[in-house]
Each structure stands twice: as structure tokens, then as C-alpha cells.
Amino acid sequence: MSNFETLRQKIEAHEARVVVVGLGYVGLPLAVALAHDGYGGFSVTGLDVCEKRVRLVEAGLWPLDPREPVLPGMLKKAVKKGNLSATSDYEVCRDADVIVICVPTPIDEHKDPDYSALWAAITGISQYAKSALVIIESTLAPHTTEDIAQMLWPGVKLAHCPERVMPGCLLHNLRYMPRVIGGYTKEAAELAALFYLQVIATSELHLTDCLTAEIVKTFENAYRDVQIALANELALICQDLNADVWEVRELVNTCPGRDVLKPGPGVGGPCLTKDTWLLASSLGEPAELLMTARAINDGMPSQVVDLTIEALREAKVTLSGATVTILGVAYREGTSDVRESPAIKIMSRLDRAGCEVRFYDPHCDGYDGDIAQALTDSDAAIIVTPHQEFSNLNWRNLGGVMRHRVLVDTRGMVKEAPGGFIFRGLGRV
């Protein structure tokens, strides 16, 4: 029986031994779903270089965002049943039938791909895996899968199925989001598709080659980045012309085929901030539109600081020595994910200018104390993350504890300027 047929039968019978390399926001939900009886029911081992994370998973404890729905309970059940374990030893790949790589692929200070975690994973796997199906879910610059193929044994079947998950809805996206599967060979693509059909609820799997899958993933995030940049550019235009970006946006979107996104203080998260650069790294000439979008979005935290300086100046408060409270640390509403958050970038700029900076975020441990306490004796408040909790705040009462009543809204959360406040809204001056 051929290696292809053996793997096919093991996957269909849910008897394949699975190793998931990287137990972060991508790998851990996948490992849990694959091991859970209600979904994959496979024997799964999670592999991670972080010993603390390995110990927590082994104990059945969720090591990431504690507010992620459903998954912590599923992890506990899978570990208790014996379907899920964790290790930091690549030797577990020796007996694996399917290996899924979910390690970070960030960019370095020069905006070039930082594949240190990826190459470490490939090197570790290549020492042991001789005939497995290897699937890479990590986001890759075009032609990277081809380079990886040269490092693996000829009997290893290689595919690239880029992830499409998002904090706050990890399991839902894993189960229901359409997937693009790029096979280094046709057999690899077919095996990978069969594997994912065992755990996802949608049958919308699109098979292609590795290069196409790489371009699809990097460009779908670059596309979103450009959309956000266009909305942010509109906000800056409205600011210059003394118009209201929120009214303009609403009216533009009454035209069929128009869907202007909401502007904001910049782009956060581990994907949109770097995937354009991964795509650009493979090009001979710069992608000018994509680079312009990156520059606009990277510049938005500075725009917010400029608005704050202007408002403080009106209140006769100098930036150096001012106390500023930032409302919202997470990059996305309803989550505690602070990776690449615009709030951190705004804080850094204010801190360098000599401000005392405070944070309040009801979703983030360590920042989720009392909002009134966070605002006490503050000279200004800046709404950065559009958490639902910020939509109906009683600014009359909150203003009573502030030293100066200055409010900057970057997300359109405040419909009208509160009485007694010096107010600035991004795109609304």
C-alpha cells in the first residue's frame, strides 16, 4: 500500500497521530479541536518551546486569553480523555502522521521576514519526520514553501493552508471559515483537504498550489490594510475640512458597492501590521499603494497625539507633565489582545513627551481596575479601543474626578461633546 493511501486511510479513520507545532492563538485552538471527540477525535500532541505553556496545557489549563469562549473547557476535556498532550521535544514527530506548523512569522526591525521560529521548527521536524503530511498554517512570503520543501525528506508531503482565525472567535473561524490549501504536490493538497474535512464544519476548501496560497493569505490582509488606510485618510480629510467623518462615511455607504470602514487610531494585531511586508519582501519593485497604506496606518497614533496636544493646549496644559488616561489597551474591541495595539504606540509617544500615562481596559488583566480611579486627576482621556463599555459612559460624573476636562475620541464612541469638556474627535474637528 502506498504512503499516500496509508495516510488517507488513517485520516479518514481518525487514527492519524497529529502533532501541532506552536501552541499560540493559531495552533492551540487547532490542537484542541482536532483532539476533541465532538470534532476531530485524533490523538494530538502540542509542541511548543515555551515550557510554561506546555505545563499548563498538560494540566488541562488554557494558557492564552481567558475570555476566549468554549475552548478552555474543550481543552480540559481533551486532556482528561487522553486525546491531547504537550511537549517541547521534537522527537514526538518521529511517529507523527500529520504535522501542522503554527509558529509566528513576524518581521524584524528592517521590515524583513523573521523566520527564526519557522526554520527552528522545520529543522526540528526534519530530524525525525520521514513520511508525514506536513501542513504550514503560518503566514509565509511567496516562494517560502518551496524553500521549505528542500529541507524535508522526499517522503514528506507538504502543504500550505494559511490560518484565518481571530481572537474572540478562534473556534468559530476555525470551524466555519473557508480555507485555501496549497499543495507542493497534488497528493499533498488532497491529503490536507481530507484532514481538514475531519474537523471543520464547512466544505468550502479551495485547492491550489503553494505559491497561490501564499499570495492569497498575504494579500487578503494587505487588502484589509488598504481599506483601513482609506478610511483613515478620509478621517484626516474631514478633519482638515471641518467635516464629520462619521456622517460622511454613512452617506458614502448609501451608494451601492461602497463600504467605507470605520477609521481609528491605527492598525493593531499580529497580522495586518506585517503581512504587507511579507508580500513586499518577495517583490523586485515596491508595491507603492500597499506601502502608502502602511505609512498612513502607522502614522495614525501620531495623529492622535497631535489631537491630544491641541486639546491640552486649549486647556492651557503643557504636554510635558500632563497626566493622560488611555481608555482601551487591546487592539480589537471585546478582547484582551494587546499585540501591536495602537494604544501602546500612543502611550510610547506620550511617554517620550514627558506625560504620565495611565491605562484602563475592562478586558485586560492589570488594566481593568476602576475607570473613575484611572481618570482621577487626569488632564485628558483618550478613547482608543471601541469596547462596548465605553459607548455610554457618564462623562458628567467622570469629568468631576479629572483635573482638566479634556476628551479625545478616536472611535466615534461619543456622539456629542460632553458639557464642560474640551473635546476632539478623530475626523470630527
Determine the pLDDT at residue 1.
56
> Of 155, 172, 203, which residue sits at a domain end?
203
What is the reported pLDDT for 67?
Answer: 66
Q: How far apart are CA 180 and CA 208, in angstroms?
A: 7
Residues 331 and 230 in one domain: yes
DSSP letter at 96?
-
Catalytic residue among 102, 210, 217, 355: 217
DSSP, collapsed to helix, strand or coil, labels residue 182 as strand
Pairing of strands 133-136, 98-101: parallel
- What the block records as the C-alpha cell of 271 is 497580522
Last residue of a domain, one of 184, 203, 222: 203
Q: How far apart are CA 143 and CA 33, in angstroms?
A: 29
Total domain count, the chain: 2
Per-residue pLDDT of the chain (429 residues; tens, 9 = 90+): 578 899 999 999 999 999 999 999 999 999 999 999 888 899 999 999 999 999 999 999 999 876 677 899 999 999 999 999 999 999 999 999 999 999 999 999 999 999 999 999 999 999 999 899 999 999 999 999 999 999 998 889 999 999 999 888 889 999 999 999 999 999 999 999 999 999 988 779 999 999 999 999 999 999 999 999 999 999 999 999 999 999 999 999 999 999 999 999 999 998 999 999 999 999 988 899 999 999 999 999 999 999 999 999 999 999 899 999 999 999 999 888 899 999 999 999 999 999 999 999 999 988 888 999 999 999 999 999 999 999 989 999 999 999 999 999 999 999 889 999 999 999 997
Grid look-up 491529503 returns: 191
Same domain, 141 and 252: no
Same domain, 85 and 17: yes
Q: How many of the other CB atoms lie within 10 Å of CB of 341? A: 27
Same domain (yes/no): 151, 104: yes
| Residue 24: Cβ within 10 Å count | 16
Same domain, 322 and 418: yes
Residue type, position 399, single letter: G
Please tell me whether residues 352 and 401 are part of one structural domain.
yes
Whole-number pLDDT of residue 201: 86
Q: Can you point out the beta strands (E) in 11-88?
A: 17-21, 43-47, 84-87
Angle at 100 between CA 95 and CA 106, to 5 degrees: 135
176 and 34 fall within a common domain: yes
18 bridge partner residues? 44, 98
Q: Answer yes or no: do 130 and 276 share one domain.
A: no
What CA–CA distance (Å, rounded) separates 58 from 42? Answer: 16
Q: Is 217 a catalytic residue?
A: yes
What pLDDT, on the 0 to 100 scale, is given for residue 203?
Answer: 77
| One domain for residues 241 and 337 | yes
Residue among 251, 246, 223, 250 nearest 235 (CA): 246
pLDDT at 9: 94
C-alpha 389: how far from its chain's center?
22
DSSP H/E element including 409: strand 406-409
Determine the length of the chain: 429
Q: Pairing state of beta strands 179-183 and 157-160? A: antiparallel
Rg of the chain taking only CA atoms, in angstroms: 24
Active-site residue, 186 included? no
Q: Are residues 30 and 171 in the same domain?
A: yes
Domain that holds residue 286: 209-429
Shared-domain flag, residues 199 and 214:
no
Question: In whole angstroms, what is the distance from residue 106 CA to residue 339 CA?
Answer: 12
- Asked whether the CA dihedral 40, 44, 50, 51 is positive or negative, the reply is positive
On the 0-12 / 13-18 / 19+ scale of CB atoms within 10 A, 394 is exposed
**What pLDDT does residue 366 have?**
84
69-95: burial string, b at 16+ Cβ within 10 Å, e else: eebbebbbbbbeeebbbbbeebebbee
Task: Find the catalytic residue in 93, 102, 210, 271.
Answer: 271
Residue 145 CB-density burial (10 A; 0-12 exposed, 13-18 middle, 19+ buried): buried
Q: Which of 111, 194, 203, 99 is nearest to 148 (CA)?
A: 99
Q: Are residues 159 and 246 in the same domain?
A: no
From CA 237, how far away is CA 246, in angstroms rounded?
12
Phi, psi of 171 (to 5 degrees): -70, -40
Q: What are phi and psi for residue 53, nearest 5 degrees? A: -65, -40
**Which CATH number characterizes residue 57's domain?**
3.40.50.720
- Give the domain-ending residue among 203, 228, 260: 203
**What pLDDT does 81 receive?**
95
